[in-house]
Structure formats: structure tokens, C-alpha cells
Structure 1
């Protein structure tokens, strides 16, 4: 008895047809997945834009409120209403507090002091700032 081949003509044709269908569907499926991913990214971008729009709308509403504007002017610009007594308190001990926190001041004088000393040194003909300090 002759052994029959396991791969018949019909099976080969069926295999070719299945491969052709798989190959013809591969590109559209890949495009579908890429488009779904792009749609998800665009929806996320739209959600962020809408959130930003809501924040800006809220900010606009706040800036249209005269009381809010007055409060901002007082806090940021130190405005004082007519007839009111306003005080500005300077903290003279700010340097001491910085040293207590562990921060050290630099040993260099402020830039304007160095500039003035150099002008004085030039006036005297000393040539250097060290001569003005003596």
C-alpha cells in the first residue's frame, strides 16, 4: 500500500487562502489599532484643554470681581484705601533669623558698597578698594 501524503492539494489551497486572508487583514488591523491609540491621545489632550479652559474661566470670573481686585491690590501692591491708615512693618531681625536657621551671611559687602569704595579709592588716587578700606 502506498502511503498518502499528509498534505493534499485541497489542504495546500486552503493554507494559501488562509495566509492570503491573514495577510490582507494584517494592515487594516494594524491601522485600526494605531487610530484607536491616536483617538485616545486626542481625547486625553481634549480633556486637559477643557480643564485648562475651566481654570481660566474661573480666573476670569475672579478678576471681574471688584472685591477680589481690591484684595489683590492690598496684598501684592500694598495699596491703601482712601481714609484708611496703612502700616508697613519691616523685619530688622531678618538676618538674625537666617543665622539661627543655620544660614550664614556671605562676608562680602553689598555691590553698591563695593562700588562706592572704588569711587572713593579712585578719588584719592589709591587705585584699589583695599586702600579705601584702610
Structure 2
């Protein structure tokens, strides 16, 4: 009965380093970089990423709109508060009297109104002003004087 060592074909046997025939090398299968499972898993991840991109973009856009509207609302609340404070001042009759005297130059009965205009530049300009220049004649006066002057010339 032949043994397992003797049953090998001659070309696939190992030989000793003592100068026998060279051993035939067989190529071992190389593992592929991406297996089919890894490729499918990668494709699923890409599809999921693309599917979630649009809703996330919409969500972020809506968050930015909400923040902008909240800022505008806070500004409006501040403007309303300032207007309410101003309205409270106008409800005071003494404040209304002060504003009428200051802005509209109102006076109480029996008071003499006096308005002081502080314009040093205008006063200096008025002090240096000479007599007003003579107003030029109107055009029809000039025309009539020229007709009279032509009529007064002696004829030769």
C-alpha cells in the first residue's frame, strides 16, 4: 500500500536543496480589497447619507429662520417698551406744557413772549452790510427810456 508521501505527483513534490529538480510554485489566491458584502454595505451608507442630507439642510435652515424671527421679535418688544415709556411722559400735563413752550413757543396768559435768536455770524454779516444796491429798472422802463432818448436826438 502506497503512503501519502509517495502518492503525490512528481511535479508538486518538494525537493531537497541538494540540487534536485526545482519545485513548482503555485499562486495563492489574493484576497480582494472589497468584498461584495463590503461594497453593498458602502453603497447603503452612501444612499443613507444622501437621503439624510436634504432633511438636515431643511432643519438647519428652519433653525436659522427661527433664530432670526426671535431676534426681530426682541427688537420689536424693545421698540414697544420705548414707545410705552414715551407715551407715559406725554400723559403728564406738565410735560405737555413744557414741550408746547419749547417746540411751539406757547406762552401763558399774561406772559410777554420773547424769542432770542443767537446768531453771531448773522449779526456780524448784517453789521458789515452796505446800503442796498439800486434795483435795476424793469425791461419795459428801459425800452421806453431808449425810445424817448431816440426821439430827443436832433435830426440833421
**Is TM > 0.5 for Structure 1 vs Structure 2?**
yes
Aligned residues: 109
Question: Aligned ranges for residues 6-85 of structure 1 at < 5 Å?
Answer: 6-85=33-112
Question: Aligned ranges for residues 69-108 of structure 1 at < 5 Å?
Answer: 69-91=96-118, 93-96=120-123
> After TM superposition, where is structure 1 displaced by more than 4 Å over at least 4 residues in a row?
none
Query: Counterpart of 1:126 in 2: which secondary structure?
Result: helix
In structure 2, how many angstroms separate the alpha carbons of the residues matched to 1:82 and 1:31? 69
CA-atom RMSD in angstroms: 2.6
In structure 1, how many angstroms separate the alpha carbons of the residues matched to 2:36 and 2:105? 94
TM-score normalised according to structure 1 size: 0.70
**Which structure dedicates a bigger proportion of its chain to helix?**
1
What are the ranges of 5 or more consecutive residues in structure 1 without an aligned counterpart?
Answer: 99-108, 128-134
Aligned to 2:138: 121
Question: In terms of Rg, which structure is larger?
Answer: 2
